[in-house]
Structure formats: C-alpha cells, structure tokens
Chains A and B, each alone.
Chain A
Amino acid sequence: MAMRREVYIVGSGGQGVVLMGALLAEAYALKNWNVVQTVVYDAAQRGGLARAEVVMSDSEIYYPKVRKADVIVAFAADALPGARPKMDEHTVILADESLKDKNLEQYGTKLLFVPFERWAKEELHSSRVMNMVALGRVLKTLGDVSIDEVEQALKERFKGDLFKLNMAAVKIGLEASEF
C-alpha cells in the first residue's frame, strides 16, 4: 500500500506558510519520496490569507492537493472553515495557542494547541521562526523524517546564522513533549 502524507498549512501572508511547506517537501524529497506543494493566496499582499498544501508519497502523486489532511497547521483561523472538506476524525489540527478562543473544537478533529509563536519569541527572540517550530512539530507528528534529514534540507536553503536559527526552531518543535 502506497504511503501518502497530506499536510495543510494556513496562516496570513508573511507568516512563512509557503516556506514551511517547501521545507517539509524538501525533507521528504531527501528520503526519495515524491512531493508536491501547491499554494493558494489572495492578492499578493502581506496579511492576506495564505495556504500551502503539501502532499508526500512513496509512489506517484496524481491529485496534487490535500484530500484528507493528516495534519493541519493553523497560524490563523480564517481559512479553516474553507478547509472543512479536507478534514476527518483522523486529522490532527496543530494550532497556535493564540487561536484558543476561535472554537476550533467545532471541526471534530484531534486538536492540539502549541505555542509556536511564544516559543519562537521566548527561546530564540524571533517570532519570525514560528513556522520552523511548527515544522518540527509536524515532523514529530508524522514521524517519517529523522532529525538528520530535516537538518540536511535546511542546510540546502540556509547558510550560517540563519541556518542555526532555523534549525534551533525546528528542534524546539521536534523535541516538544506532549502536554
């Protein structure tokens, strides 16, 4: 049976949604899986809705978008109603803790609030890398990619201090204990 992983990332423009999806895809590509990332955004302004869909499979990918998400990462709640058809009872929503009052229970999925932004700010003094904290948390949930593989993917994109910062953020997500 073919293995297929589907991840849907929603947030606002400028939150690093597309970059996070790209790195997720690249980490799986290093395992020789097929990957496809598609994005949907409103007009190209900061602050508009941004959505990335990443599909990874060890066999050929035909439908390039998410059908039933294994994981949904939510930095903002606005896009979630539109994503309802892509959820079922097996879907895990990993939502930033700032969305606790957004009634995310309504979707009937597994739901975890994670302080992506707070951790990035408190531990790395950069809320900008909250997407990398989330990447680490997604990889932990999916459990296919080793820390070495994701490190390799990050190295191909970032150099020097930028690599160190992003990798540290990924580690925070990967090593987060359940709570």
Chain B
Amino acid sequence: MVNENDAEASFVPMSSAPDKWLRKEHLPHIWCPGCGIGTILRQVIEQFTKLGWKNDDVVFVTGIGCTGRASGYVNAQTLHTIHGRALPTATGIKMARPDMHVVAMLGDGDGVGIGGNHFIHAAKRNIGVTAIVVNNRIYGMTGGQVSPTTPQGSKSTTTPYGNVEPSMDVCKLALGAGATFVARVHTANPVYVGQIIGRALQHDGFAVVEVLSQCPTYFGRFNGMPDPVQMLQWFKENTFMAKSPEDEKEGKIPIGVFKDDKTTPELSKSYRNLWEA
C-alpha cells in the first residue's frame, strides 16, 4: 500500500490514457484553475486504460454540478442526466446490460444531497455501479452555497455566519446502507486515488469511492485557503489511514478502504436467476 504522505507517489507519469479516453475536441474543460475534479478524472481514465476496457464497454453517467460535466469529456457511452439522478439512471442501464461497466461520477450535492435517497437505495440493492463521489464540500456550479458535507462552522454564500448544521459522512452513509465496497481518498495523493478507484471499478457490486477534493474558488476562498496548494496541504495534514470511518485520531479525517465484501450477490446478476426459474 502506498503511504499517503509519500511525495514520489504523487508524481503522475505521462500516459496514453488521455488520447484514448478524452474527447480532446471538447477541451479545455470548464473547471476552475486548481480544481480537483480533473485530477480525479485523470485517475479514472488511467484505470480504464490499465484494465484494458474498450470505450464502448463503459457507460459513464453523471448528474448536475461541476462534477456532472465530467461525462462530456470522457470518450465512452456518456450520459449527463439531471440533478441527483445519475444513480437510478445507472441502475436502469446496469439492469438492462450487466455486461457494461457502469460508472457514475457524482458531486457531494448530487450524490448525498438531492440524490441522497437514490444513493442509499443503490447501496441497498448492491447494483453493479461504481460511484465516485467527488466531495468538495460545497455547491460550486451555483456559486458556493452550503452542501450536505460542508463542515460545521465553515463558511459559504448561504452560511455567512458559519454552517450551523453538522456535516454528513458519505462513507458512513454508504456503509450503513449496505454498499459492498467503501473507501475514502483525497486529491493530495493522486496515485492512491487511482489505485482505489481501480479496485472499485473491478468490484462486482455497488462500490463507493469518496474523493475529498479541493474547490479553491469557493470553499477555499471562504475558509482561509484560497490557494489550491493550501487545500492539498490541509488534506495531507488533516487525514490519517484508517480501517473504519469511525476511527478517531486528533480530530482528523479517516481515509482508506473501509469495506470490500466480495460475497454479496450483485443485483443485475441475481435478478436474472428469476429468468431461469
């Protein structure tokens, strides 16, 4: 396992992945300078390449928001759906075509705010979809409003006095709802992000990878970290490798793989047992 503070491991070598997996004619992308989404997307397509997947083997589904725009840049069968609804759409796709690799990339608002109920039920069903939750802890696309994962006390355009509400823990939610692969990583260590996403993509059931990501434009600017480097540094200093999201260490955020259950049947396959009967 890579040490999350290993500086060398953060170096991303040149690769052929962008040529095969990006729709270069649609670049440059719309994300702000310093945004973490590009870092994560790069790791996703690196894993597609590593796994030897074909472009038309992959269905890549997103909702609305900054992360929602990722589907436009990926050279696969892509759907940019409506806000919060990437997971039920992905569920319908996977049920119809279990042979497809179905990947949903969600933001925190998309995934556990407006789409929270779908998130719970996709986990409960153990549908064979990889859910990559890009958690930048703010609503970026609409201009920096509070999100379900904004830490208590943090500022946003709609919490000018600091967020009064506690924040939601994506991984605890996923575990509680029955997801069979659950992990948390952060963008300060892109190689580790790639490794974990690679494992999630190969997981048969519902896999959740929460990626803590920086939004310097809004979250950083409102909370004393306007420089993306400051935010990455904050991730390094305020996280620790753990076995469970319940683990505690000096108020830091646990990261790591929290669950990897390969025995629970995946829904699109188990449903087909009814066809035989």
**Touch between A and B in complex, CB under 8 Å?**
no
